[in-house]
Structure formats: structure tokens, C-alpha cells
Structure 1
Amino acid sequence: MGGQGIRHCDEPGPSALRALLPLLGDADAEVAGTARDTLLDRGPDFADGLVPSLREIRREGPGRARARALSVLAGIGGEAALSAEDLAAVERLIRIKAPDERPVALWACWNHWIAVPGGDRAGIMETLGLTGPRPVTFALGNDIVDSDGHDAGDGGSEAFARVFVTPELDGWTFVLGAWCDPCDAERSEDVLRLCTRLSARYGQAQAYYYGAQGDGSAWLVAERGTVLRRYCETGEGEDELLTLGEPLPFERARRAERGLSPEWDAAQESDEDEAEWRTAAFDLAPELAKALGVSPLAIGADTRVCGAGVLAMTPYGVAHGAPTGAYRI
């Protein structure tokens, strides 16, 4: 009850939030969960005052509060808030789980990824300017990407700070995260430049956006240092300004299947035909990715895996830092 009351206050101060710490170990799971959620929601502004007390709970207990205290520490202060012992324990758990983990479809509400053939993870990271790789499980990498995607959807540019670089999956390596968005106003030109460089080095590179909540699709396809196509259909008024190159054979085939002309100029299309194509193109990115290689949205336990996945910092993350959060391992 107290946690719910404080959660709905406009500006709970540090003393009110500290009063919730004993409730993290409450026998009533709903009370304990509400205390945790309230601290996660309001605690970042008072992290300096809360971290010492949360670390004490981690050391001294009570035992029922320890797991929730760890979640709050990670959520309000990130890795910097964790003790050396807790950080080592998290890394040890990842090392234990990762070798036996099978890949899972890397779905998020907002999906952004770059796809490169082969398994030269180090070379791909070098080309993209990614640094500080840390081992992660598929669950952890996907959870971070999903969380950052929500931040990007809310206009938070800190979502560009990090990416999940997968192991080689059925002959392809994927870099996932909002930083890879080929149609974002801030990122689109840099993603085009990077995919051009990747394709010059590896023969091919593709970048995709797919909004799984009905928010559209975008794709960028480059080969041997040349951009063949960039196309966006996200419902934004300036989508057409990003269009580059001629329609891909896949696009032409999909239009023909719908009785539309494979050759088209949006300015000359009838309203009905243009609406028909926009409806089709909204969900096209995952299909196109599969047609041109492998889609990370469709991998599974039978996918051939070589290597291990890592979380890496982008140049933006190095300059500005990464968001905080508690994630599944």
C-alpha cells in the first residue's frame, strides 16, 4: 500500500524512497514487487543516496530482499552501481549459461539490424567502430535491444549507445540495436555509409527496420561498395526522401502478386494502388531479409551457430554512456 502511494506522488524524496527498502524483502510478493518497481521508477534521480543501502542489503540481507536489491541497483545505476562481487557473479553466470544456450528468434517491439555474411565478428566490429565487447547470452542481448528500442521509440537518443553482435548464425552475423536503424533521421546517413563500407569488405551488407507493432518497414541493401536500394514505408511523411536505387526483384515480385505494376512512380500511382503497396510494404522487411539471406527474427534452436555473442559499445555510447537497466540473463 505504501509503495503504491509513494509511486503516485509527484516528487518522492530520498527519505521516502529509502523507507521502501525494507519492503523489498516483504513476505507479500505484491508488496515487495511494488516497492522494487517504485524504486526503479523514481530511484535514478537519487541513486547516490540509495546505492550504499542497496549494496548493504546485497551483503547482509535479508535473503528475500537480495535479488530485488540487485535489480534496483542495476536499474538505477547500471554496472557502476554494482559491487565488484556482484559484477563478477553476473559475468560468471553468463559464462556458465552461454555455451549451452540455443539461439532464439531475436524479436523486439522495434527491430533494427545490420546483416553481414560470414563470421568475422572482429572485422565487422572494427569496420563499424564498435568497442568494449562483453559476452552475453541471447536472452540478455535481446532484452537489452528490446529495452533500447523502446527508448528510441520514446525519442531517447541514448538508445544508440550499444548493440548486440551475434555469433555467426547460418552463415551470417547480425548487429542489432536502434543504432542500426536505416531510416532514423539521426542515424540513416551514417548507417548508409557503414553498410557501404561493410559491403566493400564482405561483398554484401544489409540494414533493416521492422516495427512489430504495425510501425512499418525499411531496408537498405549494399553490394561491393555500392548501395543498390534504400526504401522506407513507416507512415512518416518524409519516407520517400530516403528512397535510393531501383526496386529490388523481390519488391517487383510482391507488387506483381498484388496486381500492381512492377515498375512504378509513387507520384504517378493512383491513390488506391499506392495505398495497396504501402499496406504490403509495411510488413515486408522480415520477408526480404529471409529472401536475401537470413532474418534474425526467424532463427531458432536448429540454426547453425559458430562463436558467441557480445554486447558492444558504439561510438555514441563511448562518448555519452549507456542507459541503465535490469535485464534477463
Structure 2
Amino acid sequence: METTGLDRLQALLAGHSMSPDGWWRLDQGEVAALLDEVREQAGAEDLNVRQQIWDALDRVVDEPNRDDLLALVITRFEAEQFRRVLTDTDPEVRRRTWRSHTVRGRFIEVVMQLLADEHFDYAWPDCIEMLRARTTFDTLVLALAGAPEDGLRKRLWVVLGLPADTRVPEFLPDHSCATLVQCTFCPESYDEVAIHECRHFPIVVTLLGSSLDEVRQQAMESLMVFGLGVVDTLRSIPRAHRKVRGGALAMLAEFGWHLLPPRDLMTLERLIRSKQHAETPEPLDFACFSGSWYALPTTDQNAVLDALDLRDPISVTLRMGFAPLRFTPWQRSHPMTMYLETWAGVHGFAEWNAEATRDAYLRDFYHQVFVTPALDGWTLVFHKTKALPAALDTPLEQQRLEMYLRMEQLSLRFGTAQWFEQLPDSYAPGECWSQWCLAQDGDIRMHCVSSGDVRIHRSDEIDPTAPLDRLYEWLETNGNPYGTHTAPADNDRVEAYVAMLRERDHERYLPDDEDELDSASTIQDLAFGARGASRRLSVNLEALGSHTCVQGTGVLAVPAHLRHRPRRGALPI
């Protein structure tokens, strides 16, 4: 391709300001014709021509957009063109094939062939990077099961984060391994197979010891499909296989804590105690938090457990307690989601496909409640929204009345009781719906909801239609004088936001009930939502650190009416 062609391409691309998704729309018209010329010569047989084009492409667009341009070029390569680029002697040319995140299913076969070919050992690191970035877990497991002991098999172990000389354990057909399981990797995925006859099960178990978090997670998700039939085998993994056994214990915890061997439970308890003594509280990231919490000004954890009728407390670290409340749309939840048949087995339902079993499965939720140690004199009680109400199908108004009653009772016992709730918006990062309530000496002083607007639901101190700067002043006046409030930078933003509201609040808009679930912006939440109110009224969770006074240890407990539910989930210690 002549220099004038690349110059023309550069001029055409300079006229577009595109998002990453928008780049694909450029592959049409004159741009498409020029890109076709680029592809032909970027994948040419002549090494010199090929390298000249790749060098020139670096100058066509600036660095932030370079990978998007490479994606336009590479994804429409023919297989042979892609092979030539991936086997180029210039490492920078090879690197472009995986740096631009463009490997698609039709190129995987080419990558696998090169990874098995001893003539292209110099390209193996690039093949490994490519397979890690874009190949599905299932594809690699199937490839491992069919690969010979040497060559490709060794390098596939490396792709998956294990040493090249990894050997899978042998499961003999004894009383435990004869159990039938469902293997989605087998040709007839709906047919059951004995564990000792399944080529894929030992591979998946071995991958529990991978150095890559994503691979370990995918191995656990695959074992969840195998079902409860793998439990005895996981318990039998020798302690000599330390990493694999550690992953097996995590998998057993996902099925149910009662399935962990007693000796390992004792080891975990000792580890938790040692971690508790050395643990420094870490700031809570509200952008990744979903749940509710009570704040009570007491260091008497037993009194808190009794007041909320929480049973069977188990000592945990702060990291363990907060883990189930962390939320991102793409993050694996704690505990893992179970398939209906496996869930029914764990919960003791005889018929997994019965209507009653399905109804119970759909009503399942994380029911454990985290009671913190005293943090600067406050004990906090974190829970998923459904964990503490008496019934899931209670109407919204009834739930509100039950919350008021509980807050009144707690404030009579502890003098003050606060409750906060935050539900992040999955479709609008940084936005959320939240509410908070403050009770004192048996009376509800304030209940506020922050959504598309700010609504005062109940207050004897501020008129619900009063300007919002009155609410802000109330929070400032009634804040915890000994707590850490808003960070200076945030405080400036909040003050500016309140000043803006003060100027235009003469036409204050109160939403109808159907608008209540609209999201609040980050700045609104800092001023009036659960995030901002909790900072002022009790404990600033975003400022936890070495300066925080910690008394006692945290526990995970369960509401009395949910004690029948198995406790499960692999939580980070």
C-alpha cells in the first residue's frame, strides 16, 4: 500500500471521534476500501511488506485509538493471514495480535496448532497470552483432555496458570468415586457418568490450584454443574496437593459449610483468629456496596445479637463479613448461584423438580448477617435486604411500618438506632437508590429516601415539603460530633451542590410513588443519601483505617426464623 493510501486513511479517521463500539461502523465506504488494502498487505507473504505496513499503522492514529484500528484490521483476516502475523519474527508485530483483543473463535484453531508446533517456539508466549485473554474455559479443558502428555498439553497447563509438568490426580473406582455426576464436557452432556470414568473431572479439579483467579473461579463454576456427587472426591484430595486441596475446600464451602472436614474447620477457625488480631479495617467502597445496615451506639455485641434475634454467631474477619455485600454486575456473587438440582440436594428436598422445591429455590437469598466489632464505639449490623424482614411478600407499606417498629424498639434499648440501605443501579454506574432512618428513645426522628428526588417520609422536625437545604442543615446539626465527616474535597462539592439547590428549590418537586426507584446521582447521595447521612450520623465507612478504634471481633449470625437454611459460601479471609 502506497504512503498516500495510508495518509488518506489517516485523514479519514481523523474526522471521526468514536467510542470503542463506534469504530466498527467505520468499516464501510472509502474507509472500508482502504482497510481492505491494509489487511491484504499486513498479512502478505513478503516479510518486508508486512512489517512496513505494521510500522506505518502506528502512525495512522494516536495511541489511545491504536488498538481499535488494529482490531478493524485483524478481525477480518483470513486464517492464513492471521497465521503469518502470529509467526512473524518481529515480536512487536506478534504482540499486536493479542494486545488489540481481536482473537475470535475461527482463529483459535490456528493458535492451538502453533502452540503444538515445535518450529514456532518463539511465538508460544504470544499464543499463551492470546488464549488467556479470549478463549473460553471449556475450550481449554476439552483441548487438555484430548492432548498428548507432552507438547501441547504442557503449554495448555501454562495457559491455565499451572506448571508445565502438572499431573492430574487419579480417582479410583471406590465407593466414593463410583458416584454418577453430570459432565457438560462429555459428548452427551445430559447423560450421567461415573467420576472415575470422566476424563474432564480430574482436569477441572486440578485447575482449582491455578495461579489465575479467573481460572479457579471457572473451575468452581464447572464443579457446581457436576453437582453434589463430587463432594466425597473433593474431601479425599491429599494434603500434599496443597493448592488443589485449598481450592477443593473452597468448593466444599460453596456447597455447604457442614461438608467441610472437621480438621479443616479447626484450621480455618485458627486462621480466622490470627487474621482478626492483625487485621486493619479497610475503607468501604460504596460504588460496589449493596445491602442494609443498622448502626447502634454500643460495644455490647451480645446485646445486639439478642435485640435482633440473631443466632449461631461464627467469628469472622471484617473482610469475610463485608464480602457478600460487595456488588458489581460482572463479579461472582457470594455464595455462588446453585443449579436447582444441586440446591435441592443441599437443602434436603427429596424432589428437586417439585413445584414446592422450585418455589423455595426462587425465594432463596443470602441470609447471614454480619455484626461488626465495635468501630469507634458503634456496632454495625450488615445484611442483605431480604434477610431480616419476617416475610418476603410483605407489601412495601407494611415493610416500612415493621421497620419503624424495629427502630423504635432498638432505640429504646440502645438510646439511638440508625438504619441505612443502598441499592446500586446496575445500568448507571455511580448511581443508586438509598434510604435511611434515625430513631431516638423510642421515637422516629427522620426517615428519608434518596432516589430521583429526595423525599422525607416521616419527620416531626422538618416539614416534608421544606427546602432541601433544611435537611442538610439538620444532618449537620445532628451529626456525630466525634465521628469523621465528609472528606474536604467531597465537602466542597456537597456545599456547592446544596447552594445550587438553595437557589432553585422554590419549585421543589416531590415524585409520585412510581418514581421512587429512580436513581440518585453520586453527589445527591453524598448530600442526602445513605452514604452521606451515615458519614454524619455514626461511622464514616469510607474512612475506616488504622486510626479506627476496634473492640471485639466480628461475627456472622443468622435470623432465628432462618436457622434451618444451610450456611454456605467461600468467603475471603
Whether TM exceeds 0.5 here: the answer is: yes
Whether 1:226 and 2:443 are equivalent positions in the alignment is: yes
- Contact map agreement 1:161 1:316 (CA 8 A) in 2: no
Structure 1 residue 51, shift from structure 2 partner: 0.3
Which residue does the alignment assign to 2:415? 203
Aligned-partner SS, 1:20? helix
Q: Residues 278, 328 of structure 1: CA spacing in aligned structure 2 closer, same or farther, 3 A cutoff?
A: closer
CA distance in 2, matches of 1:289, 1:168: 16
Which residue does the alignment assign to 2:489? none
Aligned-partner SS, 1:159? coil
Deviations 1:152-174 (A, max 9, x none): 9x997543511111111111110
Structure 1 residue 67, shift from structure 2 partner: 1.6
- Contact map agreement 1:55 1:83 (CA 8 A) in 2: yes
After TM superposition, the structure 1 = structure 2 runs for residues 95-244 of structure 1, keeping only pairs within 5 Å, are: 95-107=273-285, 108-146=288-326, 158-179=364-385, 188-211=400-423, 213=429, 214-234=431-451, 243-244=457-458
Which residue does the alignment assign to 2:471? 251
Aligned-partner SS, 1:243? strand
Q: Residues 16, 61 of structure 1: CA spacing in aligned structure 2 closer, same or farther, 3 A cutoff?
A: farther
- Contact map agreement 2:275 2:317 (CA 8 A) in 1: yes
Unaligned runs of 5+ in 2: 1-138, 144-182, 338-360, 474-493
- Contact map agreement 1:252 1:263 (CA 8 A) in 2: no
TM-score, with structure 1 as normaliser: 0.78
Q: Quick one: which of 306, 311, 315 aligns to 2:556? A: 311
Whether 1:66 and 2:278 are equivalent positions in the alignment is: no
Percent identity, aligned pairs only, is: 25
Which residue does the alignment assign to 1:49? 229
Structure 1 residue 141, shift from structure 2 partner: 1.0
Higher relative contact order, structure no. (Cα contacts within 8 Å, ≥ 6 residues apart) = 1
Unaligned runs of 5+ in 1: none
CA distance in 1, matches of 2:442, 2:284: 28
After TM superposition, the structure 1 = structure 2 runs for residues 287-306 of structure 1, keeping only pairs within 5 Å, are: 287-306=532-551
Structure 1 residue 264, shift from structure 2 partner: 5.3
Greater share of residues in strand:
1
Q: Residues 21, 249 of structure 1: CA spacing in aligned structure 2 closer, same or farther, 3 A cutoff?
A: farther
Aligned-partner SS, 1:72? helix
Deviations 1:85-123 (A, max 9, x none): 111111111011111212122444314211011212111
CA RMSD, Structure 1 to Structure 2 (Å): 4.2
For residue 377 of structure 2, what is the amino acid of its counterpart?
Answer: G
Q: Residues 26, 138 of structure 1: CA spacing in aligned structure 2 closer, same or farther, 3 A cutoff?
A: closer
CA distance in 1, matches of 2:415, 2:212: 56
CA distance in 2, matches of 1:266, 1:157: 33
- Contact map agreement 1:208 1:285 (CA 8 A) in 2: yes
CA distance in 2, matches of 1:94, 1:327: 11
For residue 549 of structure 2, what is the amino acid of its counterpart?
Answer: R
TM-score, with structure 2 as normaliser: 0.47
Q: Residues 207, 218 of structure 1: CA spacing in aligned structure 2 closer, same or farther, 3 A cutoff?
A: same
Structure 1 residue 23, shift from structure 2 partner: 4.1
Which residue does the alignment assign to 1:20? 201
Aligned residue pairs, count = 316
